[in-house]
Amino acid sequence: MKKQVVLYKKLSPLLMARLHEQVDVTLIENLDAEGLGKLRDALPRAHGLLGASLKLDAELLDLAPDLQAIASVSVGVDNYDIDYLTERRILLSNTPDVLTETTADTGFALILATARRVVELANLVRAGQWNRNIGPAHFGSDVHGKTLGIIGMGRIGEALAQRGHFGFGMPVIYHSQSPKPAVEQRFNAHYRSLPELLQQADFVCLTLPLTAATQGLIGVEQFAQMRPETIFINISRGKVVDEAALIGALRTGRIRAAGLDVFDREPLNQDSPLLQLNNVVATPHIGSATHETREAMARCAVDNLLAALAGERPANLVNVGAWKG
């Protein structure tokens, strides 16, 4: 009897064929109300789940008494109740590494686009308003040589430091749970307390996971420690930031600008004050969103899921306490 897998994220034909060889697949194409109803109907027979961008809480997973594994197509695992899953010995896996470089590229895309006002000025051209040489009113800020401040020195933070150090000659400072000697050596990076980093960095970049400890980490007090020429970049999770405080800092000139790929609520509401501000570049959570990387992530998730359902330890097991082996 094949194991039952519920997919709530579409996969490529190649990966779908791979799954169909080994398990019975129920695909939930959309996570609208109808799709969520179909997901709830499918859970009672599910042994495995694969997808992303959906909060799988206890209320929902209590509907899946035979669930053995969840393979998240993401590196972030804030959509899961780790303690609940471990208690039920449901193996949760994620997809680190394969998305590191692409997400760091997104970080630098936002650094450059925000500092040089690329979106604002490209829109000016498109609107037919380029009728004279660009003057000081439209000048941006340099990136090369400026101080890159990274909050959260994990895989993605490291890749951002690499780009800043080798690509743009940027002094790198960072704040993380513990100092990272190897990163300091590779990128001539220097550890700073959070207040020191906020005061010294020209670019303050968030690359840390959303946890109980990081939720709301950057608020009014932290923006007040930044300088008026500081540019704030968030490629982590929206809830790490007090979004009202960010809006206030941008409106009052407390900071120069913000490049944001993640938001308190996603999709970002059309009437968000952030979208009324010219000094904001907002992208729709595209951190890992390239053809190559999303296929690699999905492949990694399929590998993790099939391993777990075969009784093997997934390569990217998040809740190691759930592993019986």
Does residue 266 have an active-site annotation?
yes
DSSP 146: S
Q: Which amino acid is at 234?
A: N
Q: Does 53 bind ligand 8YV (CB under 6 A)?
A: yes
**Which entry of 29, 87, 266, 312 is annotated as an active-site residue?**
266
CB half-sphere exposure, 317, CA atoms < 13 A: 23
**Which entry of 47, 237, 256, 294 is annotated as an active-site residue?**
237
Rounded to whole angstroms, the Cα distance separating 312 from 216 reads: 37
Closer to ligand 8YV by CB, 53 or 272: give it: 53
* Non-local CB neighbours of 106 within 8 Å, separated by 6+ positions: 235, 261, 283, 286, 287, 288, 289
Q: In this chain, which of 3, 175, 254, 285 binds ligand 8YV, going by CB under 6 A?
A: 285
Scanning 16-24, 74-82, 107-115, 191-199 for contacts with ligand 8YV by CB under 6 A, the matching segment is 74-82
Does residue 237 have an active-site annotation?
yes
By beta carbon distance, the residue nearest ligand 8YV is 76
Closer to ligand 8YV by CB, 106 or 222: give it: 106
Other CB atoms within 10 Å distance of the CB of residue 259? 27
Q: In this chain, which of 4, 74, 230, 234 binds ligand 8YV, going by CB under 6 A?
A: 74
Rounded to whole angstroms, the Cα distance separating 88 from 233 reads: 37
Which residues between 82 and 141 bind ligand 8YV (CB under 6 A)? 99
Q: How far is the CB of 288 from ligand 8YV (least distance, A)?
A: 3
CB half-sphere exposure, 151, CA atoms < 13 A: 28
Q: Does 76 bind ligand 8YV (CB under 6 A)?
A: yes
Rounded to whole angstroms, the Cα distance separating 272 from 220 reads: 19
Does residue 20 have an active-site annotation?
no
Which residues between 208 and 227 bind ligand 8YV (CB under 6 A)? none
* Non-local CB neighbours of 103 within 8 Å, separated by 6+ positions: 75, 156, 159, 235, 287, 288
Scanning 35-43, 104-112, 117-125, 281-289 for contacts with ligand 8YV by CB under 6 A, the matching segment is 281-289
Q: In this chain, which of 7, 39, 42, 52 binds ligand 8YV, going by CB under 6 A?
A: 52
What SS3 class is residue 7? strand
DSSP β-bridge partners for residue 317: 93
Closer to ligand 8YV by CB, 285 or 299: give it: 285
For residue 29, what are its two tokens? Answer: 């194409």
Q: Does 206 bind ligand 8YV (CB under 6 A)?
A: no
Site string for ligand 8YV, 288-317 (x = CB under 6 A): x--------x--------------------
Scan for tokens 């944001």, then name that residue: 260
Size of the site for ligand 8YV (CB under 6 A): 11
Q: How far is the CB of 179 from ligand 8YV (least distance, A)?
A: 25
Q: How far is the CB of 200 from ligand 8YV (least distance, A)?
A: 28
CB half-sphere exposure, 16, CA atoms < 13 A: 11
Q: Does 258 bind ligand 8YV (CB under 6 A)?
A: no
What SS3 class is residue 130? coil
Q: Does 234 bind ligand 8YV (CB under 6 A)?
A: no
**205: phi then psi, degrees, rounded to nearest 5:** -115, 125
H or E segment to which residue 257 belongs: strand 257-260
**251: phi then psi, degrees, rounded to nearest 5:** -65, -35
**Measured in whole angstroms, how far is the alpha carbon of residue 292 from the centre of its chain?**
17
Q: How far is the CB of 73 from ligand 8YV (least distance, A)?
A: 5
Q: What are the residue numbers of the active site?
A: 237, 266, 285
- Under the rule (CB under 6 A), what is the footprint of ligand 8YV? 52-53, 73-76, 99, 285, 287-288, 297
